[in-house]
């Protein structure tokens, strides 16, 4: 198979992204100032980290819509640990651990009890969000030590480190998905759990694993987002799950499992993260933004489906 057929979906997203970038060169060259590109990348970093986890979840034929609520809880955990006087690395580890535990909760319910992921995570999404609201009344975690913002590394380092770290996470997982048995097990589980089981993969363990990884990466995403500020908003991350899932499916990962790649997800994240500011640069009114974002999602998936539909017909 040629590169074009195996990576058709990634190429079509890349093409769409290319069109957007060219439009910006023509109509809003100011978009390409260094500071703006940096800010777009910093803003995209938490979404990318979570999208890495979501790609694994969807590849394993699952879904997790609770990550917005997890995101809020992990940020609050990091803030509270830092406020309690613990060193920032410990607070950071706390956020990841909190995420991993919440992911494990989803994982036990889905893999252990065999319950459908979309309903389980609908329940944890609502339950966790309301429990957090009840506990905090939305009051922010404030008066944090000065070392909280940028983890004490300062703004200049922090603004490079955040997207850098996100890219490192992405690259490591992308490499692992190609070259490690665990990565192939995720694909196998998502393609056909029964066949996977017969070839020695343990699908339930894989499913549990992807939820834990999803949670831990959500914790990391929350941390990377929280440390850009001096205090922690408690009810953050509303709608985060939709942004992440949209990025992953626009990037071509099949909701039916087993098909997709992290390259596609990276492109999906970049496309959606660029689209928001790009619309402002192109002079769009804010109140049309949501509609245009819906159009971008639909066009990306419909173009692909249209392509495969015509190809199917052309087949003898």
Partner 1 sequence: MRRLGGGLTLLALVLGAGACRGGGGAGGTEQGQTIAMMPKNKGNPYFASCRTGAEEAAKELKARLLWDGPTETDPAKQNEVVEAWITRGVDVIAVSVENKEAISTVLRKARSRGIKVITWDADTEPDARDYFVNQATPRGIAETLAGHAARLLGGKGEFAVITASLTAANQNEWLRQIRLVLAERYPEMKLVDVRPSDDDRKRAFEETQTLLKVHPQVKVVMAICSPAVPGASEAVKQSGRTDVHVTGLGLPNDARPYLKDGVLDSAVLWNTKDLGYLTVYTAHAVASGALKPGVSSLPAGRLGAVKVEGDQVILGTPFTFTKDNVDQFHF
Partner 2 sequence: MTYERGLALCLVLEIALFASIGWNFFTAGNAGEIVRASAEIGLLALALTPVIVTGGIDLSVGSLLGLCAVVLGVTWRDAGWPITVAAAAAVVAGVVGGGLNALLVARLGIPPLIVTLGTYSLFRGVAEGVTAGVRNYSDFPESFLFLGQGRIGVVPSQLVVLVAAAIGFWLIVHRMAVGRMLRAIGFSPDGARYAGLPVGRRLGSVYLLSGMCAGVAALLYVARLGQAKADAGTGFELMAITAVILGGTSIFGGRGSVGGTLLGLATLAVLQNGLRLADLPAELAGVVTAALLLAALGANRVLQGRSRK
For residue 60, the tally of other CB atoms under 10 A from its CB is 30
Q: Return residues touching partner 2 (CB under 8 A).
A: 63, 109, 113-116, 118-120, 122-124, 126-131, 133-134, 242, 245-246, 249, 254-256, 285-295, 297-298, 301-302, 305-306, 309
Q: How far apart are the first and last CA of the chain?
A: 18
Strands (DSSP E) along the chain, which ranges?
Answer: none
Write out the two tokens for 237.
């991350």
33 binds, among partner 1, partner 2, none (CB under 5 to 8 A by kind): partner 1
Q: What is the DSSP letter of 153?
A: S
Taking residues 207 to 236 in sequence order and writing x for each that binds partner 1 by CB under 8 A, - otherwise, the string is ------------------x--xxxx-xxxx
Least Å distance, CB 126 to partner 2, is 5
With respect to partner 1, which residue has the nearer C-beta, 254 or 293?
Answer: 293
Looking at the chain, how many residues does it have?
316
With respect to partner 2, which residue has the nearer C-beta, 101 or 228?
Answer: 101
Q: Is 157 in the site for partner 1 (CB under 8 A)?
A: no
Residue 80: half-sphere exposure toward Cβ, Cα within 13 Å: 13
CA distances from 93 to 30, 75, 290 (A): 39, 11, 35
CB–CB of 88/147 below 8 Å?
A: yes
235 binds, among partner 2, partner 1, none (CB under 5 to 8 A by kind): partner 1
Helical packing angle, 34-59 and 203-226, nearest 10°: 160
With respect to partner 2, which residue has the nearer C-beta, 231 or 289?
Answer: 289
Q: Is 35 in the site for partner 1 (CB under 8 A)?
A: yes
Report how far residue 222's alpha carbon sits from residue 79's, in angstroms, rounded to the nearest whole number.
Answer: 11
67 binds, among partner 1, partner 2, none (CB under 5 to 8 A by kind): none
Report how far residue 105's alpha carbon sits from residue 19's, in angstroms, rounded to the nearest whole number.
Answer: 42
Taking residues 71 to 110 in sequence order and writing x for each that binds partner 1 by CB under 8 A, - otherwise, the string is ----------------------------------------
Interaction site with partner 1 (CB under 8 A): 30, 33, 35-36, 39, 43, 130, 133, 136-140, 142, 155, 159, 225, 228-231, 233-236, 238-239, 276-277, 280-281, 286-287
């Amino acid at each position: 198979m040629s590169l074009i057929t195996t990576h058709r979906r990634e190429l079509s997203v890349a093409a769409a992204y290319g069109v957007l970038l060219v439009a910006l060169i023509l109509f809003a060259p100011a978009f390409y100032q260094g500071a703006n590109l940096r800010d777009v990348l910093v803003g995209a970093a938490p979404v990318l980290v979570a999208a890495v986890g979501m790609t694994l979840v969807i590849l394993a034929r699952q879904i997790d819509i609770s990550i917005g609520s997890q995101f809020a809880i992990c940020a609050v955990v990091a803030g509270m640990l830092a406020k309690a006087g613990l060193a920032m690395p410990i607070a950071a580890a706390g956020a990841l651990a909190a995420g991993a535990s919440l992911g494990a909760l989803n994982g036990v319910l889905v893999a252990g009890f065999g319950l459908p992921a979309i309903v389980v995570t609908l329940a944890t999404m609502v339950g966790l969000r309301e429990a957090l609201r009840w506990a905090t009344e939305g009051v922010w975690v404030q008066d944090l030590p000065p070392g909280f913002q940028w983890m004490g590394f300062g703004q200049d380092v922090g603004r490079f480190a955040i997207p850098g770290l996100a890219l490192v996470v992405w690259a490591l997982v992308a490499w692992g998905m190609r070259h490690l048995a665990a990565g192939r097990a995720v694909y196998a589980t998502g393609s056909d759990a029964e066949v996977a089981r017969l070839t020695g993969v343990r699908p339930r363990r894989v499913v549990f694993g992807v939820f834990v990884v999803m949670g831990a990466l959500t914790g990391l995403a929350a941390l990377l987002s929280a440390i850009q500020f001096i205090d922690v908003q408690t009810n953050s991350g509303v709608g985060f799950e939709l942004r992440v899932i949209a990025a992953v499916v626009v990037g071509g990962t099949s909701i039916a499992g087993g098909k997709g790649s992290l390259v596609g997800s990276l492109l999906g994240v970049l496309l959606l993260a660029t689209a928001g500011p790009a619309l402002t640069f192109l002079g769009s009114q804010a109140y049309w933004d949501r509609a245009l974002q819906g159009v971008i999602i639909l066009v990306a998936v419909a173009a692909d489906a249209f392509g495969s539909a015509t190809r199917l017909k052309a087949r003898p």
